Amino acid sequence: MANESTEKKGKGTVFVKGELCKGCSYCTDFCPTGALGFSKEFNHKGYHYPILVQPEKCTGCDLCGLYCPDFAIFGEKFKDLDEKRKKTG
């Protein structure tokens, strides 16, 4: 994930559990804004995992998470993250 100033340019962000990814590309194929791409690195299974390559385009819609068969990624809107932080802290 990028630093706070870069993240706030978009409406949301994604969280990736790279070790769970099997590189199916559903998340990158179905990202409506094209914010996702694949890392150059491999996970322990030998797959490239998704990363947020254009954070300013991410809306946090969680379409990536809905399509992921391995629950390796999910999106969150910044406003929802801010509300969660207020409740817990």
Topology (CATH) of 4-84: Alpha-Beta Plaits (3.30.70)
Tokens 């509300």 belong to residue: 83
Q: Is the pTM of this model over 0.85?
A: no
Q: Which of 65, 68, 62 is nearest to 22 (CA)?
A: 68
Give the span between the Cα atoms of 64 and 84, in whole angstroms. Answer: 21
pLDDT over 70 percentage in the chain: 91
pLDDT in tens, 51-71: 999 999 999 999 999 999 999
